[in-house]
Amino acid sequence: MTARQWAVGLAGFVSFLNLYSPQAILPLLGGEFAAGAAEISTVMTAVTLSVALIAPFAGTVADVLGRKRVIVAAMAAVVVPSAMQALAPTLDALILWKFVQGLLLPPIFAVTIAYIGEEWPRREAAAAAGLYTAGSSLGGLAARFLTGVLADLFGWRAAFLALAAITLGCAIAVAVMLPREQKFVRSAGFAASTRQMLGHFRNPQLVATYAVGFGTLFNFILAFTYVSFHLAGAPYRLTASAIGAIFLVYLVGTVLAPWVGWAIQRIGRRACVLGVVAAWAAGILLTLAPPLPLVIAGLAICAGAGMVTQAISTGYVAISAERGASSAVGLYVSSFYLGGSAGAALGGLAWVAGGWPACVALVLAMLAVMGAVVWAVWTPGSPVAPRRPAA
């Protein structure tokens, strides 16, 4: 891998490392602050909501200021709320710092995706988005696994401080390794960039992709938040470390994401996503089985399906925008994280109403909506296969 490839992977890693850091230890935090499952999950609702609110504006700012400058500055700034979470004396304070942290994440991942769409050749953009998604997958894994293990060994506050130190190191590495953008065309100003952003809503392919992004994180946050409570309760009674270790299933997404470009070239984006949605449905149903190994197998399928769907969708947004790539990606990120916020909130209602089976039913309903949108709106296209030499 080149330095540029490492840099976009690290940007994805840092984003998801900070985003998902509380998820594996939510039952532990609930005990610390005397909060129930629905209440403590507000931590995840806060961060995904703040990401959704700021994402479109991060894109317009980057369309004016440039790509690398915004990415590196945001990575350095996110260290502050990451460290302050470790010092939070109350649940409200933790939620506040998580919200602030979320405001700083879109300038990292939204602008990195736009950077990929502009700086890589069109045929290689999907593969580059796959590398970014692989880094995101590793970041999500590290957020859950490291936080769970460190929380059991040293306490959750020490775990959050460790993640802040990792974030700082990654920011320095990206500042060194990521080349300045070469193909970036500066927007005439914030007003022009905002007009470009609103113009994206006239592109049905983009709007449909935003809907797919909404559903993707809706399902991801819902499933991987409330499965922690499912596994912490009877009959499993898993510790924070054990729950964090189960998130090693994220490695499935890490392995699959770089192959997204290869799959798209052969069967097309729409066929890929429809197949992945079907696999995702099978995986979430498998988590209803009582044996723990089957639950883990189902989560592994869900992790792989979610990461592949995200890689396909982000690559599609990056190459579908006629102009204003950052604002197009910003709108995608906004819809993506609005979905995550909705998944955390509605998942809490489902958990209270019917426990894990109700959460699974909600995921299946959203997968059905995603499949219908892709089938109805996405252009079928044709696979891009290598030409055979003339006989």
Q: What pLDDT is attached to residue 46?
A: 92
Q: In what helix (H) or strand (E) does residue 73 lie, and over which residues does it extend?
A: helix 67-77
Mean pLDDT of the chain: 85
Matching residue, tokens 């499933």 = 223
Judge whether 387 lies within some domain.
no
For the four alpha carbons of 373, 136, 334 and 198, in that order, the dihedral sign comes to negative
Q: When comparing pLDDT for 212 and 191, which is higher? A: 212
Average pLDDT over residues 334-342: 90
Number of domains making up the chain: 1
- For residue 357, say if its preceding peptide bond is cis, omega within 30 degrees of 0: no
Nearest to 326, CA basis, from 200, 182, 153? 200
Helix (H, G, I), strand (E, B) or coil at 90: coil
Nearest to 152, CA basis, from 28, 35, 33? 28
Which stretches of the chain are DSSP H helices? 3-19, 26-32, 37-40, 42-65, 67-77, 79-84, 91-104, 106-119, 122-154, 156-177, 190-199, 204-232, 240-246, 250-256, 260-267, 269-286, 292-320, 325-377
Query: What's the Cα-to-Cα distance from 116 to each of 52, 98, 107, 166, 376, rounded to whole Å?
Result: 21, 27, 14, 24, 28
Question: Which CATH number characterizes residue 93's domain?
Answer: 1.20.1250.20
CA-CA distance, 240 to 155, in Å (whole number)? 11
Average pLDDT over residues 344-356: 94
CA-CA distance, 369 to 365, in Å (whole number)? 7
Q: When comparing pLDDT for 154 and 141, which is higher? A: 154
DSSP secondary structure code for residue 180 in this structure: P
pLDDT in tens, 9-58: 899 999 889 988 998 899 999 999 999 888 999 999 999 899 888 877 77
Judge whether 111 lies within some domain.
yes
DSSP secondary structure code for residue 387 in this structure: P
What per-residue string of b and e applies to 75-91 under the rule 16 or more CB within 10 Å gives b? bbbbbebbbbbbebeeb
Q: What pLDDT is attached to residue 189?
A: 58
CA atoms within 13 A on the CB side of 333: 36
> Residues near 45 by Cβ (< 8 Å), separated by ≥ 6?
341, 344, 345
Helix (H, G, I), strand (E, B) or coil at 182: coil
Average pLDDT over residues 176-203: 71
DSSP secondary structure code for residue 259 in this structure: G
- Domain extent, residue 128, equals 3-174+190-377
Matching residue, tokens 């009959």 = 235
Q: What pLDDT is attached to residue 379?
A: 74
pLDDT in tens, 254-306: 778 777 777 887 888 889 999 999 999 999 999 999 999 999 999 999 999 99
Do residues 272 and 264 touch, judged by C-beta distance below 8 A? yes
Matching residue, tokens 């602050």 = 33
CA-CA distance, 379 to 374, in Å (whole number)? 8
Model pTM score: 0.77
Asked if residue 381 has pLDDT above 60, the reply is no
CA-CA distance, 123 to 93, in Å (whole number)? 46
Average pLDDT over residues 153-162: 94
Nearest to 214, CA basis, from 74, 69, 373? 373
Give the chain's largest Cα–Cα span.
Answer: 73
DSSP secondary structure code for residue 236 in this structure: T
Predicted confidence band of residue 85 (pLDDT cuts 50, 70, 90) = very high
Asked if residue 389 has pLDDT above 50, the reply is no
Judge whether 349 lies within some domain.
yes
Nearest to 315, CA basis, from 115, 126, 110, 122? 126
Judge whether 391 lies within some domain.
no
Average pLDDT over residues 176-180: 89
Judge whether 150 lies within some domain.
yes
DSSP 1-44: --HHHHHHHHHHHHHHHHHSTTGGGHHHHHHHTT--HHHHTHHH
Nearest to 210, CA basis, from 335, 106, 91, 300? 335
